[in-house]
Amino acid sequence: MHVLTGSKRRISLALTAAAATVTAIAAVPAHAAPAPSNERVVTVERAADGTLTETIYQVAPGFTGADLANNLRAKGASGVAVLSGEQASGEVVAAVAACSSGSARTWPSSATCFVRWSYNGAVRPVIDFVDHSGASWPVGRAVTEWNETSGIDSIYRPASSGCDGAPAHCVHVYSSNYGATGWTGSTSRTFNAANTYYASASVKLNDYYGGTEAQKWNTACHELGHVLGLDHNTGTESCLYSSRTSTKYPDADDYNLIERYY
Ligand SMILES: [Zn+2]
């Protein structure tokens, strides 16, 4: 896959970079300052068996990270934290340089910079994104873009087709009107006991905030990037910027960071 798609990806990124810059500027309302670039709002739950589930949220337009955190606390969420890119949940992880490439960042755990998906005996890890979301969410197109990485396969599966099962990991993507939550999308991941591998993950896309096709594509791209192990990108040229923009694609740094680890 790498040999066949590497040049295609670079050309695609070059062509989209200029357009992405223009749309990102246009998408930020004059009255709403964007959230700090590497900020992330997370919640952490510990199950009875000791496993941890961490959820990360894309900040909705007009909200700050602090607003979102207050919303989550008011709704009874546990382990709410607003973190900078240098912090895992309550603990500082390995040197930031090891966890970044340009403006891209890995989504660390307390144990490691980069939380992995297992190969399950395959040549590369395989993620089946099973799409339960409404038709207005461009999940399939976002999956296609992420599949441009060489080290991990992202496969789109309509809900009617279900998941292939092992060696593929099944990641279910849902949409619903989750209400005025302060977030447009969220990704939850459950760790293995050592907090070094994903045991499972799932995605929610919030219909409440509506949005243009580009904005919804941005949210889908953003959450899928979290599933693959990335944290927020400090630049608005990437869909992994902390709050919603109209940027539909990962940037080259996002791809490079994933390819470093797989
Ligand atoms: Zn995010």
CA of 40 to the centre of ligand 1 (A): 7
Residue 6 above 50 pLDDT?
A: no
Please tell me the distance from the alpha carbon of residue 153 to that of residue 6, in angstroms, as a whole number: 14
Return phi, psi of residue 6, to 5°. -55, -50
| pLDDT class of 97 with cuts at 50, 70, 90 | low
In a domain, 152, yes or no: no
- Residue 22: predicted pLDDT: 38
| pLDDT class of 86 with cuts at 50, 70, 90 | low
CA of 164 to the centre of ligand 1 (A): 27
CA of 12 to the centre of ligand 1 (A): 23
**What does the DSSP 8-state code read for residue 117?**
P
CA of 110 to the centre of ligand 1 (A): 18
- Give every CB contact of residue 6 below 8 A, 6+ residues apart in sequence: 150
In a domain, 34, yes or no: no
Out of 86-90, 129-133, 196-200, pick the least confident.
86-90
Share of the chain above pLDDT 90, in %: 66
Please tell me the distance from the alpha carbon of residue 204 to that of residue 209, in angstroms, as a whole number: 13
CA of 69 to the centre of ligand 1 (A): 13
Please tell me the distance from the alpha carbon of residue 47 to that of residue 185, in angstroms, as a whole number: 23
Task: Provide the domain limits for residue 89.
Answer: 39-116+175-261
Between 84 and 235, whose confidence is greater?
Answer: 235
**93-104: average pLDDT:** 72
**84-102: average pLDDT:** 61
What's the domain count of the chain? Answer: 1
Residue 19 above 70 pLDDT?
A: no
CA of 37 to the centre of ligand 1 (A): 11
CA of 104 to the centre of ligand 1 (A): 12
Is residue 86 within 8 A of residue 92, CB to CB? The reply is: yes
Between 85 and 102, whose confidence is greater?
Answer: 102
CA of 156 to the centre of ligand 1 (A): 20
Please tell me the distance from the alpha carbon of residue 181 to that of residue 71, in angstroms, as a whole number: 7
Is residue 137 within 8 A of residue 207, CB to CB? The reply is: no
Structure tokens at 169: 């990991």
In a domain, 79, yes or no: yes
CA of 241 to the centre of ligand 1 (A): 7
**Residues 161-193: pLDDT tens digits?**
999 899 999 999 999 999 999 999 999 999 999
Q: What is the dihedral of CA 224, 236, 151, 146, to 10 degrees?
A: 50
Residue 31 above 70 pLDDT?
A: no
CA of 221 to the centre of ligand 1 (A): 10
Please tell me the distance from the alpha carbon of residue 245 to that of residue 134, in angstroms, as a whole number: 20
Between 214 and 13, whose confidence is greater?
Answer: 214
Please tell me the distance from the alpha carbon of residue 62 to that of residue 15, in angstroms, as a whole number: 30
CA of 198 to the centre of ligand 1 (A): 17
CA of 237 to the centre of ligand 1 (A): 14
Burial call 227-249: b when 16+ CB within 10 Å, e when fewer: bbbbbbbbbbbbbbbbbbbbbbb
Average pLDDT value over all residues in the chain = 85
Is residue 173 within 8 A of residue 205, CB to CB? The reply is: yes
Return phi, psi of residue 222, to 5°. -60, -50
| pLDDT class of 4 with cuts at 50, 70, 90 | very low
CA of 160 to the centre of ligand 1 (A): 27
In a domain, 27, yes or no: no
CA of 57 to the centre of ligand 1 (A): 5
| pLDDT class of 34 with cuts at 50, 70, 90 | very low
CA of 39 to the centre of ligand 1 (A): 9
Secondary structure percentages of the chain, helix, strand, coil, to 5: 30, 25, 45
In a domain, 166, yes or no: no
In a domain, 150, yes or no: no
CA of 225 to the centre of ligand 1 (A): 8
In a domain, 203, yes or no: yes
In a domain, 2, yes or no: no
